[in-house]
Structure 1
Amino acid sequence: MMMGGGELPGLLVHEIGGVCGILHSHVAFLKKHFCLITMKEFLENRKQMSKKVQAIYLWWHRPAIDRELLQSLPNLKVIANSGAGMDHLDLELIASFGVKMANAPRAVSSSTADTGMALLLASARRLVEGYQIAVSSTVEYSKADLLGVEVTGATLGIIGMGSIGYKIALRAKAFKMNILYHNRTRRKAEEEHAVGAAYCQEMEDLLQRADFVLVAVSPTPQTRRLLGERELGLMKPTATLINISRGAVLDQEALLRALQTGAIRAAALDVTIPEPLPRDHGLLKLKNVIVTPHLGCKTEQAAYMITEEAVENILAALNGLPMPSEVLPS
């Protein structure tokens, strides 16, 4: 049992290691500040453990937070999430128990922006197809018509110009891309000028003009199915769609039809619904689609920064101080 540490506050985590557990390399840092309690330990000794837990650290959406769990934790004060998106949580329910919430926007923005640009470049230059040809035992050479499209000088449309979207724009500027963006609120003039971005008040305008459409909106009820058949139909047949937001932002069946019929050139998806997709899903059978397993901010450095940000928020909440990344119910 991972107990000890005297008066250290109890921190509930799903598990250590495994598919959804906190990383072994983070344990020593967490144990400097908390008494770690796994869900298995909690469930095996609920009566004793329930009063010890003062905080929960969610690592990739685990453990699941429901009314039953919240009712069983009378001293719970704060839940810290290992990422920016909070769409997997019932924020109203959690707040009704007097529990504060925090996310980790600072830690994830640069690495997620890198993932967005990696997908854009990989799709443009057909890197996955090229790799499969290079390692094939039956192909002797690459066909002359394995042609990609230029990124330099192309028009990039960013839907969602928050911290991640803005860092994508900074990267795209280095490729001399023409940058359009659509956002709920317009950026300051000096911020637009710094990356050479032009604001599109209507998303439809962006969709009609962009060679690459990159979706980086925050996952909210308002952004669910933001892009469907009508929106995809506005895109150029030579355009590529990149999604690093959430799978639910797209109508996946409409996207599948658009890719099959040539309504758009290609798609690169780091997020799907569900994750992973069923093995027989049509999107997995198309050559003009790249699907990655929600790599987003998954780098060693970002993962540790996420945990550092979570600890900072939890300690602030437990000490009655302002939380740097507090999330309030909308």
Structure 2
Amino acid sequence: MQKERLSVVVTRRLPEAVETRMTELFDVKLRDDDTPMTTDELVEAMQNADVLVPTINDKIDSSLLARAGERLRLIANFGAGVDHIDVETARQRGILVSNTPGVSAEDTADMTMALLLATTRRIPEGLRVMQSGSWEGWAPTALLGGRIGGRRLGILGMGHVGQAVARRARAFGMQIHYHNRRRLHADTEAGLEATYWESLDQMVARMDVISINCPHTPSTFHLMNARRLKLMKPEAVIVNTSRGEVIDENALTRMLRTGEIAGAGLDVFEHGQDVNPRLRELDNVVLLPHMASATVEGRLEMGEKVLLNIKTFDDGHRPPDQVVPGML
């Protein structure tokens, strides 16, 4: 007798190749309209599916999990971050959670360097001059930026992304410093030529560039708060391709407006799409719409990990990328 196929609900449009393979393997309900599901749609999905495949846009908190059906046994997240999912409550209800770690590290590191260069070399300002037709020709003092070679880069969070950033920054001649929950193995640290700082305050006060590469957890919320931002040198810049909640966005905006911080390159924001309007008005800020991991290759690899997690679960085994509360 043929085994009944798992019922899977996908909350957003995924790459076509991923959707096709998922349809071949499971009983899948795909999302035709590429917009986030409403709360009611999420509840309906969680009440009728064995597996939910959400994205970062889907906030799956304790109140939503309380309305989940008895069938739901796996939340196979499309993405590495799981701060939008109440993993502890899911575990208490017997629902496994998996993610897609390590896939977007190189892509995110590329974008970190792009933002670092765009911010220090004033690339958006140059683009605006050209697009407005107001360029009057080369001038010795026009749009002067700063050389990044020789500058000190302080990486906050030295996981896969942080280490990928470090490798790239070294190639640009930057000096690598980092703060992390745990110090790297001596061989890894030596390979990156990185200096470890146990005190985040001490590191922040001495860096020319701060790169945020840590996840959002209760312990990292507003890790870069107003007090810590004030430790930064006035000529320093900050880049964030991780999670917006790590920085106090209002405090950062105030300091950028008053020149207490020289610039910022931001791909993520504290309140998602609701970006501080004063931040949008500043010339010393480069803003991107959460696109650090947005490569065709990365999205396909994410999809492959989701498929592997679901297939392994369907075969009666623990998903290879299962997330447990102790990991957060």
Do both proteins adopt the same fold according to a TM-score greater than 0.5, normalized to the shorter chain? Answer: yes
The residue number in structure 2 matching 1:151 is 148
| Cα displacement (A) at 1:261 | 1.3
CA contact (8 A) 1:158 1:179 kept: yes
Q: Which residue of 2 aligns with 1:231?
A: 228
CA distance in 2, matches of 1:188, 1:219: 23
Aligned to 2:93: 97
Question: Does the CA-based 8 Å contact 1:237-1:262 persist in structure 2?
Answer: yes
Corresponding letter in the other structure for 1:95: R
Alpha-carbon spacing, 1:91–1:63, altered in 2? closer, same or farther (3 Å): closer
Give 1:325's aligned residue: 321
In the TM superposition, residue 138 of structure 1 has moved relative to its aligned partner by: 3.4
1:216 aligns to what? 213
State whether residues 133 and 142 of structure 1, in contact with CA within 8 Å, keep that contact through their aligned partners in structure 2: no
CA deviation profile, 1:35-54 (whole Å, cap 9, x unmatched): 2114799989x99x878622
What is the one-letter code of the residue matched to 1:293? P
Provide the C-alpha distance between the structure 1 equivalents of 2:196 and 2:261, rounded to a whole number of angstroms: 23
Match of residue 24, structure 2, among 19, 22, 32: 32
Instruction: Report the 3-state secondary structure (helix = DSSP H, G, I; strand = E; otherwise coil) of the residue aligned with 2:53.
Output: strand
In the alignment, which of 73, 98, 101 is matched to residue 69 of structure 2?
Answer: 73
**Contact 2:61–2:85 (8 Å) recurs in 1:** yes
Q: In the aligned structure 2, how far is the partner of 1:50 from the partner of 1:323? A: 19
Q: Which amino acid aligns with 1:188?
A: H
Give the aligned residue type for 1:79: I
Q: Which residue of 2 aligns with 1:267?
A: 264
The separation in 1 between residues aligned to 2:68 and 2:84, in whole angstroms, is 20
Choose the corresponding residue for 1:83, options 75, 79, 83. 79
Q: Which residue identity does 1:277 align to in structure 2?
A: D
- String of CA shifts for 1:19-76, please: whole Å, max 9, x gaps: xx323342212112212114799989x99x8786221111343375664566443222
The DSSP-based 3-state class of the residue aligned with 1:223 is coil
CA-based RMSD: 2.5
Whole-Å separation in 2 of the counterparts to 1:61 and 1:282 = 24
SS of equivalent residue, structure 2 residue 322: coil
Asked whether the equivalents of residues 103 and 325 of structure 1 are also in contact (C-alpha less than 8 Å), the reply is yes
Alpha-carbon distance, 1:323 to partner: 2.1
Residues 127-142 of structure 1 mapped to structure 2, 5 A cutoff: 127-141=123-137
Q: What residue is the counterpart of 2:114 in the other structure? A: 118
SS in 1 for 2:136: coil
The equivalent residue for 1:23 is: 15
Aligned counterparts of 1:276 and 1:195: Cα–Cα separation in 2: 35
Q: Does 1:247 align with 2:232?
A: no
Aligned partners of 1:9 and 1:52 also within 8 Å: no
Structure 2: gaps (5+ residues): none
Q: Secondary structure at the match of 1:7?
A: coil
Moved more, 216-225 or 128-137: 128-137
* 1:88-139 CA distance string (max 9 Å, x none): 1111221122011111112121111111111111111111111111111333
- State the distance in 1 between where 2:145 and 2:190 align: 30
SS of corresponding position for 2:22: helix
Q: How far apart, CA to CA, are the structure 2 residues paired with 1:63 and 1:305?
A: 23
Matched, 1:205 2:202: yes
Q: Does 1:166 align with 2:163?
A: yes
Say if 1:10 and 1:36, in contact at 8 Å, map to a contact too: yes
Name which of structure 1's ranges 180-189 and 227-236 shifts more when overlaid on structure 2. Answer: 227-236
Change (3 A) 1:22 1:233: same
Report the Cα distance in structure 1 between the residues aligned to 2:162 and 2:72, rounded to whole angstroms: 34
Question: Where does residue 54 of structure 1 map in the other structure?
Answer: 50
Give me the TM-score of the superposition, normalised by structure 2. Answer: 0.89
